[in-house]
Structure 1
């Protein structure tokens, strides 16, 4: 059987200054490590033999119908503006239509240098590839909008980071790779024609109901707010919420220094490069407002009256904090069994989070224990939780099946940092079984088999992951 991908290439119809066409750099000995058969079926892809798929997804063979290109964009990175970034180690192979008619991108990551690589080698090593594969598919199972993983291929080559490491290529699927930074690239150059073309393309692809840039901004904001609150609801910290990592589609993208909290603390940071805590757990809601303000600035030149546009866009962005508060209250209310929480419920939620912070309670296990009406373990003062629990039980007494609701929104298992690191270490040694086990268990995060209960355990002191890293 031959690999068949029903490619379309609409992004390649945009002007040449949006991208550079090129093929991947070949690798020495590609080996298929993982292939997402369920996703492939949804994309209308016919799988081939492993050897053929390794050649294609490793970058040695351009599949029929593909039109490989590296996209250009700019972006604010930790608040500092870089006027030109772009796909420094990625290639958009093309697009396909899912069985539901949605257009999605297929992109290779780690496929070699492009004109936008700057000082990078264009490659990826095995750890970040398997990490993104695992986390993105876990996100999908959690019901959080995300890019997805189609294939992972070992290259048979070494890449140099702090030391020589095994190379790999990830093939991922996204609703698109249009970023706030893509708009910033054309805005920074006062390229009104390019900005208009990008706006038209984005609107037609993602927000066909948007009649004006105001409509598009409101729609993007709504998706971003829901996304970031969903992150917070599972204790997730993205780690690099730069504008070039904020998609117009409202999907989670790039899982380099991303991490799930074990012990809850609102200012938790894992990213090794986030020295100021810009992208800490609790500051993610502020950063998404900041990122949306950058997008709003890019839309101003598309309006005939600039001054009026600035005022209108500013008003739209300024509504975000209250929208976030409403969405956060809804999400965290459900996490404690309240279907439609009101502002009167905020003290109950806030007091729980304060207790969790003071007693270093495990984020995931605490909410799951409440879901199952079980004991909250590994806390220093169980009596304080008992007092809170009495208030909580009184509040949810009038709710309809609150425990059922909680079990639907509070996962039993997440990709814990130490488990991910164990998986990567094993894979480097040639053992893919921990990867496959995590993939299997995380595909059903709300229903955990007794045999897999060990995956819910917080790390031992010698297993704690204190910092996570970008793959570059």
Structure 2
């Protein structure tokens, strides 16, 4: 269909400084098509600070031209809309053709910080990869991704971001009719492990080579100078994934769908479908309604990340070495590097969470014992560490931590060991408390609060709870008066037992 153009006398088209490197790759990497217009676009939320970082004018985005672009009703000058091709292992089963079934990459912009980022519309209509789907998104999942991705960014976890949410004025049919919406997602890129798998499964080594070159140039330029750039690329992706999953787990995040098509080569959290956060600490916690066997349980995430990276290594084998045995050895060595990198990031983060600025023998046992007694005592993950921040300033703060345990006696024993370990630290108590408060959030997007905010928005058209929760979790480390309910665990009747995928 022809692209909509500005009518006579209309304002000049919105300026977006596109520079689209992925669209310069060969045509079989994607499908070229425009978003499908919606009936009555209405801006629900614009992320003005993010727009400014991207070099975009928030006022222009809030105007009619901007809203038309964010809804997919108008293609801005310089955009080259494409739906990306990729494959993926979904819950361990390989699907050779997935792709953007309800998303369109408008293009790439280079922000004021010099970083190149994708602008993608999610929920923008059918594509050749839709596999019978309607290509649309419901309001609830759009607001969930906006809320949780912005919370993750505030928590310091590498993530895709949300630029805008737009209501479509149309319904989408899931179990019932739901209001539709479009999310504008911002990402370092949308290349996934599954993108490499797509071409490798077809025996298209040249496409794998071109894709590797694109990723190196865009995300890992230092790899270009290595003796084997593709091996250096693989090792760099392994390192970023190890750091990313450790950051997830340090804030109690459970991804829910850690498929290879949701594993970003850039090392960002990608896809916020049936994600959740721990309340009581439980390594076996699963919330996703589609994760029937706990494959992506909280404690399984490091193992799954390494498994996904092994699939990337398989796709890269022809480029790692001309000799098959040497290529396999290189791949195994690179993927094996995940475990020590993850362990160092995970234990280092836990050490900081309990106020240790130095590393000593016995620290690993100390933090693991804390996690064990938290699991046995049903202690809230976020509150335990936050209240430890106060207890670090003096023993009088310990009572608030004890109250989180069904049986406080094991915590009392552990706290004695912790205090003796703190005596070996040179940092003054007040400085230690400040450092712990800067790493242990007071507020996370607690599942029951997220669900309540989404229900209000979808069922009542009330965005007030969403806006209030977004305002709280956008500043997760700053404890503020009047916000106690946002820090509190759910009451038994408020507990969320399952989360659901937006498709």
C-alpha contact (below 8 Å) 2:123/2:137 kept by paired residues? yes
d(CA) in 2 for partners of 1:66, 1:460 = 48
- Which among 209, 214, 218 is matched to residue 231 of structure 2? 214
Q: Structure 1 residue aligned with 2:282, among 265, 276, 293?
A: 265
Relative distance call for 1:194 and 1:343 in structure 2 (3 A) is: farther
Partner of 1:265: helix, strand, or coil? Answer: coil
Q: Hey, what does 1:361 align to over in structure 2?
A: 379
Contact 2:121/2:184 (8 A) holds in 1: yes
Q: Following superposition of structure 1 onto structure 2, how do residues 393-412 of structure 1 map, counting pairs within 5 Å?
A: 393-399=419-425, 400=427, 401-412=431-442
Residues 316-358 of structure 1 show CA distances to partners (whole Å, capped at 9, x for unaligned) of 2123222222221111111111123345212211111111111
SS of 2:179 mapped into structure 1: strand
Q: Where does residue 246 of structure 2 map in the other structure?
A: 229
Matches within 5 A, 1:70-81: 70-81=83-94
1:470 maps to what in 2? 501
Give the gaps of 5 or more residues in structure 2.
1-10, 392-396
- The Cα RMSD (Å) is 1.2
CA contact (8 A) 2:274 2:500 kept: yes
Q: How many residues align?
A: 472
2:465 counterpart residue number: 434
For 2:232 and 2:26, the matched residues in 1 are separated by 25
For residue 30 of structure 1, what is the aligned residue in structure 2? 41
Give the conservation status (yes or no) of the 8 Å contact 1:35–1:151.
yes
Aligned to 2:6: none
Unpaired runs of 5+ residues, structure 1, are none
**Deviation of the 1:315 alpha carbon:** 1.4
Structure 1 residues 457, 347: CA separation in 2 closer, same or farther (over 3 Å shift)? Answer: same
| Distance of 2:317 and 2:389 partners within structure 1 | 47
Residues 238, 337 of structure 2: 8 Å contact kept? no
Aligned equivalents of 1:242, 1:66: Cα separation in 2: 29
Q: Which residue of 1 aligns with 2:478?
A: 447
Matched, 1:5 2:16: yes
Deviations 1:233-276 (A, max 9, x none): 00000000000000110000100011101011001001101011
The answer to whether the 8 Å contact 1:396/1:402 transfers is no
- TM-score normalised to the size of structure 2? 0.92
By how many angstroms is 1:51 displaced? Answer: 2.9
Q: Are positions 1:185 and 2:198 aligned together?
A: yes
Instruction: Confirm or deny: 8 A CA contact 2:384 2:404 kept in the other structure.
Output: no
CA contact (8 A) 1:153 1:169 kept: yes
Which of 254, 266, 283 lines up with 1:249 in the alignment? Answer: 266
Which residue does the alignment assign to 2:492? 461
Whether the 8 Å CA contact 2:100–2:129 is kept in 1: the answer is: yes
C-alpha separation in 1, matches of 2:17 and 2:358? 44
Deviation at 1:385, TM superposition (A): 1.4
**Displacement of 1:307:** 1.9
**1:39 equivalent in structure 2:** 50
Which range is displaced more, 306-315 or 176-185?
306-315
Contact 1:5 1:46 in 2 (8 A): no
- Secondary structure of 1:300 counterpart: helix
The farther-off stretch of 444-453 and 298-307 is: 298-307
SS at match of 1:451: coil
Q: Is the 8 A contact 1:330 1:340 kept in 2?
A: no
TM-score using structure 1 length:
0.98
Q: Which moved more, 1:286-295 or 1:303-312?
A: 303-312
The residue that corresponds to 1:278 in the other structure is: 295
Helix, strand or coil for the counterpart of 2:411?
A: helix
* Distance in 1, Cα, partners of 2:488 & 2:93: 39
Pick from 404, 417, 422 the counterpart of residue 378 of structure 1.
404
Alignment of 1:13-162 (within 5 A): 13-47=24-58, 48=60, 49-162=62-175
* SS of structure 1 residue aligned to 2:258: coil
Check whether the contact 1:33–1:151 (CA below 8 A) recurs between aligned residues.
Answer: yes
By how many angstroms is 1:53 displaced?
A: 2.5
Distance 1:341 1:110 in 2: 47
